[in-house]
Amino acid sequence: MAVKLRTPLSEEDVLNLRAGEVVYLSGTIYTARDSAHRKILGLPPEELPFNPNGAVIYHCGPVVRKTRGGYEIVSAGPTTSARMNGYLDTILGLGVRGIIGKGGMDTEPFRGRAVYFAFTGGAGSLAAKSIKRVKAVHWLEELGIPEAVWVLDVQNFPLIVAIDAHGNSLYR
């Protein structure tokens, strides 16, 4: 059975999800890779350019095309999430409720507070079809296109709950 969710995610949203469930996610998500995670953790929460409470972070370095009106996401495939394990506990401690990526992460930090959504590697053009618009971009000049934080409006982004908030993981 598929579940439709809208960001920001609540505690109830994540506690009701189980590993293996299909989720269609709509709302605002934020891309973040290694450099963005380091920058986020180097700032006081009140100086972050987005509200982390209930947020969903996508481990992704998108392919972006500049347009007259702003930006268009051409491809948005996931990057390997395990590289961000060292940042995970602190990122979730900011109130982030969901992480999207590939390959899995440490299970324990998600317990009781967040979920890990898997998206298939190599399907970046499929992900781009769910991205309706780029709402904003942060740290573009400093970090460059793949490492910047892209604020994306998504609709029915197809995901699988790979690690739930109860300690269950599809990777074990």
pLDDT digits (tens, 9 = 90+) for 59-100: 999 999 999 989 999 999 999 999 999 999 999 999 999 999
20: left (phi over 0), alpha (psi -120 to 50) or beta: left
pLDDT at 172: 84
Rounded to whole angstroms, the Cα distance separating 51 from 38 reads: 17
43 secondary structure, DSSP code = S
Which candidate in 37, 59, 138, 166 is catalytic? 37
Every domain of the chain and the residues it spans: 2-163
Q: For residue 130, what are the contacts with CB-CB under 8 A and spacing of at least 6?
A: 154, 155, 156, 157, 158
| Fold that domain 2-163 belongs to in CATH | fumarase (3.20.130)
Token pair in block for residue 74: 């051409």
65 secondary structure, DSSP code = E
Identify whether the C-beta of residue 41 lies closer than 8 Å to the C-beta of residue 126: no
Q: For residue 149, what are the contacts with CB-CB under 8 A and spacing of at least 6?
A: 30, 31, 32, 36, 40, 49, 50, 137, 138, 139
Token pair in block for residue 154: 């998504």
Q: How many CB atoms lie within 10 A of CB 106?
A: 16
Band of residue 35 on the pLDDT scale cut at 50, 70, 90: very high
Band of residue 166 on the pLDDT scale cut at 50, 70, 90: very high
pLDDT at 122: 85
Global pTM reads: 0.96
Q: For residue 64, what are the contacts with CB-CB under 8 A and spacing of at least 6?
A: 71, 72, 73, 74, 134, 145, 150
Instruction: Give the pLDDT confidence of 101-142 residue by residue, as tens digits.
Output: 999 999 999 999 999 999 988 889 999 999 999 999 999 999
| 37 annotated active-site | yes
* pLDDT higher than threshold 80 for residue 1: no
